[in-house]
Amino acid sequence: MADSPKSSGAKPTENKNAFKHYLEHHQKVAKSTLIQLSQHALTTSFTCFVIGIALVLPVLLSVLLANLEDINKNWDGSPQITLLLKKGLPSLDAGVLAGKILEKQSVNSSLFIDNEQALADFKTRFEFTDAIEFLDENPLPHAIIVRLNPEISSLSAIEQLRDSLVTLPEVDSAILDAAWVQRLQSITRLVERAVWIIATMLSLTVVLVLGNTIRLAIENRKEEIIVVKLVGGTDPFVRRPFLYMGVFLGLGASIVAWCLIQWVIYILNEPIQALSLSYQFEFSLSGLTFLSTLFLLIFGLSLGWLSAWLAVRRHLDEIEPS
Amino acid sequence: MIKFEHVKKHYSDGYKALHDISFSLNRGEMAFLTGHSGAGKSTLLKLIMLMERVSEGTVSVGGQNLSNIPRRQIPYFRRHVGVVFQNHRLLFDRTIFDNVALPLEISGMAQRDIGKRVRAALDKVGLLSKEKLSPIQLSGGEQQRVGIARAVVNKPPVLLADEPTGNLDPELSAEIMKLFMQFNQVGVTVLIASHDLALIHPLHYRVIELAQGSIKSGAQHG
């Protein structure tokens, strides 16, 4: 009975070298899939571009987000209060006051800014120096910039401190700078959420577009699928070339997306630097790190595989010889 | 080797393709299945290779009741049944060699063994010199011989053919039949569906005649 259909359980796994042949077969399928894709280079690159562009937006947003978080970190997070001192207060008294404020526990640093120095700074930084020349006297008061301990994060504690500082006889008014930081943090959270939403929707688009591409490929190779099933091809065997196709298209799309993102960052960097300089700090966008590049490639590859798997499940099992 | 017991096949639209078919084919036997088109020849062959399932009764091949084979196991079963089609179902995007190699690749054979087996099969059907050509470069008779090489390359114990000479002239048809007879001589059980009575009667093999889904003659051996 050795050759009878009863021995039909002779799966490849029972073969001694089965695993080697299995790998051999994978290699062969991967190669022939690549050849097929390159034979339709135009369609292939078109698909990769469509999917690549869909990948660009979420990845680019998350790059911006990472940069935004960087700003938050560099900002050292400590809120700051600017005290404007009363007009006519001698510089010496103001310096002494700065020293006194520094003794407070919740204060990290306190920096005295002389009004003459402030005016000079003002002149070098801004362009309406001519207008200032018309003024008889220095319109700026002395100021003390008080930086609080980073541990003090609650707005009410900061406000309490501000209120106590503003009652000092030398102080005219106090400006709280915490709002900036908080606003930035809110923006970051907002962008973060937007990134997730956009990433989810565009990933869905990728799955649909790729799924449709794979479906067309299945349609085109219907006859082959039937023959393979007729001569004993298992479902995994029939699926394999299409799964490889999905993986390769996903990978190609990630590479397209990578190039586009690097290009966009390059284009955006100059205006962003100019903008950040106008806010008096130096900042430039950093591109994709090695890790995020790796993530992008794996993400594209997995999306490709997933789309192919869904398409194959949906359409391949329907094709049965009749 | 092949055994039908009170087999019925009805389709969901009410069409009764086969009713109460019973016959058996011994190991190493060769037989023809005849009848007008629509008599149920193709349906009967489809039941043997599990392209269709019986509505009632049992079909067994090599002692195995086909109703007990789950869907997932069908591919492994099919590797033991070689099939030749009227339109030969070759794949035109690959060479003759690759067409014949397909069943071996599917069963996970090593590449170097595949080469030997494919050339042996092509040699048997007299097409060894054409292994690198595309099926489209071959004549109808040659294409059918490639189809036969693909069906036997796995050395299946059972060989089925559905109108294998349907598109061929008498001379080529006789050659094809000679090939089937050669495989039968080395012990393969062969069942050929054909309506070409002029071709099959002189060969003196068992003839099972179907008419309107029933066996008209040839149910018994001899």
Nearest alpha-carbon partner for A55 in A307, A299, A305, A306 = A299
Question: Parallel, antiparallel, or unpaired for β B30-34 and B189-193?
Answer: parallel
User: Cα separation of B158 and A8, whole Å?
Assistant: 13
Task: Find the largest Cα–Cα distance for chain A.
Answer: 115
Chain A residue whose CA is closest to B48: A5
B55 Cβ contact partners less than 8 Å away, ≥ 6 residues apart: B8, B9, B10
Burial of A218 (0-12, 13-18, 19+ CB in 10 A): buried
Query: With a CB-CB cutoff of 8 Å, which residues 55-114 of chain B face chain A?
Result: 61-64, 69, 72-73, 75-81, 83, 89, 91, 93, 102-103, 105-111
Per the structure block, which two tokens stand in for A147? 């930086």
CA A44 – CA A63 distance, rounded (Å): 27
Q: What is the pLDDT of residue B135?
A: 94
pLDDT tens-digit map of B105-124: 998 888 888 999 999 999 99
User: Distance from A32 to chain B by nearest Cα, in Å?
Assistant: 11
Interface test with B, best of A1, A6, A8, A39 (most B CBs within 10 A): A8
d(CA B165, CA B151): 15
Which residue of B87, B106, B189 is the best one to mutate when testing the A interface, meaning the one whose CB has the most A CBs within 10 A?
A: B106
The amino acid present at A6, given as its one-letter code, is K
Nearest CB among B62, B108, B155 relative to A12 is that of B108
Residue A300 burial class via C-beta count within 10 angstroms: exposed 0-12, middle 13-18, buried 19 and up: buried
Q: Which residues pair with B159 in a beta bridge?
A: B82, B190
Bridging pattern class, strands B206-211 and B30-34: parallel
Q: Is B133 exposed, middle or buried (0-12, 13-18, 19+ CB in 10 A)?
A: middle
The pLDDT assigned to A180 comes to: 67
Question: What is the pLDDT at residue A181?
Answer: 65
* Residue A35 one-letter amino acid: I
CB under 8 Å to A260, separation ≥6 — which residues? A52, A53, A56
Rounded to two decimals, the pTM is 0.73
Contacts of B1 in chain A (CB under 8 A): 4
Give me the numbers of helices (H) and strands (E) for chain B, helices first please.
7, 10
Task: Please give the DSSP secondary-structure letter assigned to residue B168.
Answer: S
Q: What is the pLDDT of residue A76?
A: 57
DSSP at A149: P
B62: left (phi over 0), alpha (psi -120 to 50) or beta: left
SS3 for A55-96 is HHHHHHHHHHHHHHHHHHHHCCCCCEEEEEECCCCCHHHHHH
User: Which positions in chain A touch B77 (Cβ < 8 Å)?
Assistant: 5, 8, 232
Surface-to-core class of residue A289, CB atoms within 10 Å of its CB (0-12 exposed, 13-18 middle, 19+ buried):
exposed
Phi and psi at residue B39, to the nearest 5°: -75, -15
Of B46, B51, B80, the CB nearest to A8: B80
Residues of chain B with pLDDT under 50: none
| Residue B127 contacts residue B149 (beta carbons within 8 Å) | yes
User: Across chain B, which distance is largest between two alpha carbons, in Å?
Assistant: 50
B48: Cβ–Cβ under 8 A, 6 or more apart, which residues? B2, B59, B61, B66, B81, B158, B160, B191
B52-67 as b/e, with b when 16 or more CB fall inside 10 Å? bebbebebbbbebebe
**Confidence (pLDDT) at A281:** 67
pLDDT means per 10 residues in chain A (322 residues)?
Answer: 42 61 85 90 92 88 77 65 86 85 83 83 70 75 83 73 85 77 76 86 90 91 91 91 95 94 88 78 76 91 94 84 75
Residues B2 and B10 sit within 8 Å (Cβ to Cβ): no
Q: What is the pLDDT of residue B92?
A: 92
